[in-house]
Chain A
Amino acid sequence: MAESSTTTKIRRKEDASLLSGRGRYADDLPVPVGTLYAHVVRSPHAHADIVRIDARRALAHDGVWAVLTGEDVRKLSDPFLAAVKTPVQQWSLAVERVRYVGEPAALVVAESRYVAEDAAELVEIEYAPLPAVIDPVAACAKSAPLLHPQAGTNEVSVREFRYGDTAAAFARADRRIAMTTTFPRLSFTPIECYVVVARHNAAGGSYDVTANFQGPFSMHPVMARALRVKGPKLRLRIPPDSGGSFGIKLSVFPYIVLMALAARVTGRPVKWVEDRIEHLVAASSGPNRVTQIEAALTNDGCVLALRLDQLEDYGAFLRAPMPGPLYRMQGAVTGAYDIAHVDVINRVVLTNKMPASLIRGFGGPQLYLALERLMQRIAVELDLDPLEVIRRNLIAGEKFPYRAAAGALYDSGDYARAVEIATGDGRLDELKRRRAAARAQGRRYGIGFAAIVEPAMSNMGYLSTLMSKEAREKAGPKSGAVSMATVNIDPLGAVTVTADVTVQGQSHETVLAQIVAKALGLRPDDVEVVLEMDTAKDQWSIAAGTYSSRFASGTAVAAHMAAVQMREKLKAIAAKQLNVLPADVELSGGKIRSRSNPDNALPFGRVAATSHWSPGLLPESMAPALSETAAWTPQELEPPSRDDRINTSLTYGFVFDMCGVEIDPVSYQVRVDRYVSMHDAGRILNVTIAGGQIRGSFAQGVAAALYEEFAYNEEGAFLTGTFADYLVPTVSEIPEVEILHYESPSPLTPLGAKGLAEGNCMSTPACIANAIADALGVADVTLPATPRRIHALLERAGATGKR
């Protein structure tokens, strides 16, 4: 178990460069002489057949090198492999048909981006519009327009799961309470858009691509297969800095393939920098979900069983690694509650919207909106205190480690204690006082709660839960999640760390330096961390990348292990030179010394030098190089069981939120008055960085609750195509949050740390929705709770004042 000296405040290694304009983001890097620039021609139609593409005028434009169409792409590449086997095919450009507004239909390559955009206006594409379907429920109807006629349905995957004896629990229940929730479409739109620079070497038949891809690297084989090359022939490099990701930068992958093809066609390096308009209309979205949820209850509010019917809308294509969000929470579908019986139906539907993919929270926000809204409804309908309903159903502290009904192994926690702390010190009393005072004045004020389990480090096998057990047996087991890190020491004792993560602002350099320095008795400043990635030279597995909060439970552990391996090696080397037993050696303060006689010491660098300069002096059987790589995969991440139980993640943190909101009677804005967020993320690795991650996640949770939504009209036109319509909150819209910590270290990792950066994306939308429901006395709260929606709710209640 790590000691808490790692929680001291330290300065980030990343900051000096980033604050001085010396970052190295993808668009900052030099490109080869002769690089061309691409611009994507996009569909203005939600659904249409491509009748004809005439690129002659564009090709005649000065400075234009090539125009690629779906036909070129079909000739030169294969459709992307998908996680779910369906007859749906997708290439990097639309082939024969477009299925969402913004879908890439052609690519212009020219001497500059400006010229490419000029020529794009000259590409003539004749479309034959088709009826579009936007609503996920409508898309399931037999009469709905089919996006992929060869699939025969838009509902391309349906799986039913039974955990426990739900029917019996419902039969014996005093009450049943049901509701339907809809989680909206949104993205967390990093401020840096996608960037790809691709080169093709015709002689070697290889591609060399730099892109701000975030992982997981399970997508690398998908890209290589699409390009019809073996993995090593697609060298993918990730720049050292990235301007945010939040899951979104996985979906640069089709453009990696597209630009690689453009480089092949033109014989020149091709660069593409996505602009904001492209990003909003087509980059990526979280999936929207319609959940029907029902609880079997005792009269005192104990949940005996749950039924969930989750219909998730992935837009026009089901791209790998989708439908991840529908399955990432599968093992933990009962959330923070001790519910032994649960039935789940998972449905995947396709509609004429941009394809959905990774997004921070990844399935959690959708699940918890349903589950936590249900808990609030239970309180209302049974006339109980909503907090009391939560308390009665929380998993008791003595039950940890706790095996949830659907298979998750919750490693540690004391949820009731965390709730008690959060609501204590007068915090809840203050909220209630403020609500009472507001209501006494006729104002609309409500209190909301949310209690959620935050998973981290995904089991790479969870998606196979969507296959039947027979299919799983045929395909072979999938499980685990490898994390890798390497510690190197140079001839003068300087330490360098590399690891299988992509940088995107989470302070990985700082934390890895901290962890490795601690193991080696050095200062964090003594450790260099190099996190740019190169698939040709760096260690990686399919699990590599930065997503699903895998850093604290995964890569950080691997770095710790590599550092410990290195420490043991240095001890053995030093023992010989100090004439003591290895067990008597310690590393401290930049020295390697005898524990029993600290004066018997060698500088760290001196010992390190031995391996470089005098490998012959090393202890027998020791490999000479000072390079240690550790790979860590926890055994708890097992494949799905025969009865579909799955431990979807390694660690499970806990978040309890409560808030007070007030509805402005004039503007219909929801104002968050007070917000408290309690986190149990196990051992906190760095309290400053943890706070930063939580605040960022909270801001995105508020955004999802109140501001951000990709809006389409019924015909599929995209209505939120600029930052003037797609509302990213500014400082004025983000309320204060009081952050509390309770630490239940994970027994499953050497550092005891869990993930914490996704929790508020999961809890905050539900918590605010519950507070709005309380403020307005309504059951049906649609997110984001925009003034327009609040006004409509009040109109229905006849409460907007005189007309």
Chain B
Amino acid sequence: MRAVKGDQKTRIALTLNGRKLAAEAEPRLLLSDFLRHGLGATGTHVGCEHGVCGACTVLIDGVAVRSCLTLAVQAEGREVRTVESLAAPDGALNPLQAAFRDHHALQCGFCTPGILMSFTDFLARNPQPSEAQIREVLSGHLCRCTGYANIVEAIKEVASSSHAPRSEG
């Protein structure tokens, strides 16, 4: 049984983008804060901290979840993937990222990492979704810049091509 007192910091170890990392945290620390300020992975953004905007979406064991609605301690021992894992080590964008660039599917880019992570999960499970399914998943994210249309186009392009986004990492 894992038990941590409220005022006690504990060492939380997890795998972030393939690398084993650890840092100290109180039980109440949100995973979003732990990733950004504990582990230095600032690619994951915080937009509402009540689970509506989707900017903080990350993968835990391959499944897209809101990191603001997850405690850091809950991710202990898990595989966490964030937007920093998507591009190749030389910086080459993966097909999903490239489609976002090619369709002008981002402007300020703040909501984008969460959307990329949602679809990394979703397209791995459903490589060829319908547009309705894409819209359904995208409706779990708020974007204020684009009006969404180009995001849908970008994802449609990835979905219609034979390869789903790379899922290593």
Residues of A within 8 A of B (CB): 11-12, 14-16, 18-23, 25, 27-28, 114, 188-193, 241-246, 273, 275-276, 504-507, 688-689, 691-693, 695-700, 722-724, 728, 730-732, 734, 736-737
Contacts and interface: CB of A to CB of B under 8 A. Distances in A.
Nearest to A280: B48
B1 to A, nearest CB: 25
Contacts of A689: 104
A675 B116 CA distance: 29
A731 B148 contact: yes
Given A19-B116, A724-B52, A731-B152, A11 B36 contact: no
16 contacts: A15-B100, A16-B91, A19-B86, A20-B91, A27-B36, A191-B48, A192-B47, A193-B47, A244-B144, A691-B150, A692-B107, A695-B146, A696-B145, A731-B138, A731-B141, A736-B149
Contact of B145 (A241, A505, A730, A732): A505
B39 interface: no
A738 B94 CA distance: 30
Considering residues B46, B55, B113, which has the most beta carbons from chain A within 10 angstroms of its beta carbon? Answer: B46
Interface residues of B, number: 55
B47 to A, nearest CB: 4
B107 A20 contact: no
A729 B115 CA distance: 16
B143 A191 contact: yes
B28 A114 contact: yes
Contact of A700 (B44, B55, B91, B144): B144
Contact of A15 (B50, B101, B136): B101
Given A25-B45, A723-B50, A723-B53, A19 B149 contact: no
A245 B110 CA distance: 11
A241 B36 CA distance: 16
A193 B150 CA distance: 24
A698 B104 CA distance: 16
Contact of A190 (B46, B110, B147): B110
Contacts of B111: 191, 243
Q: SS class of chain B's interface: helix, strand, loop or mixed?
A: loop
B142 A505 contact: no
B107 A696 contact: yes
B142 A191 contact: yes
Given A27-B42, A27-B46, A275-B49, A244 B108 contact: yes
Interface of B: 26, 28-29, 36, 41-50, 52-53, 55, 82-84, 86-87, 91, 93, 97, 100-102, 104, 106-113, 116, 135-136, 138-152
Contact of B43 (A22, A691, A731): A22
B45 A19 contact: no
A106 B113 CA distance: 35
Given A15-B101, A19-B101, A21-B113, A276 B146 contact: no
A192 B107 CA distance: 13
Contact of B108 (A504, A695, A723): A504
A731 B47 CA distance: 17
Given A191-B53, A722-B48, A724-B52, 11 more contacts: A20-B87, A21-B86, A23-B109, A28-B36, A191-B47, A191-B55, A242-B108, A243-B47, A276-B50, A691-B104, A697-B147
A273 B53 CA distance: 17
Contacts of A723: 48, 50, 52-53, 142
A155 B138 CA distance: 45
B20 to A, nearest CB: 19
B69 to A, nearest CB: 13
A416 B104 CA distance: 31
A696 B101 contact: no
A19 B107 contact: no
A114 B9 CA distance: 13
Contacts of A188: 144
A258 to B, nearest CB: 21
Given A696-B144, A731-B152, A191 B101 contact: no
Contacts of A246: 144
A102 to B, nearest CB: 16
Contacts of B138: 730-731
B101 A724 contact: no
Contacts of B107: 244, 505-507, 692-693, 696
A23 B52 CA distance: 22
3 pairs of A and B residues whose beta carbons are closest in the complex: A21-B43, A505-B108, A243-B110
A192 B42 CA distance: 13
Nearest to A726: B52
B134 to A, nearest CB: 9
Nearest to A14: B109
Contacts of A28: 36, 42
Nearest to B134: A731
A736 B116 CA distance: 22
Given A21-B44, A191-B55, A722 B50 contact: yes
A737 B49 CA distance: 32
Nearest to B151: A731
B147 A695 contact: yes
Given A14-B109, A191-B143, A731 B135 contact: yes
A730 B139 contact: yes
B108 A241 contact: yes
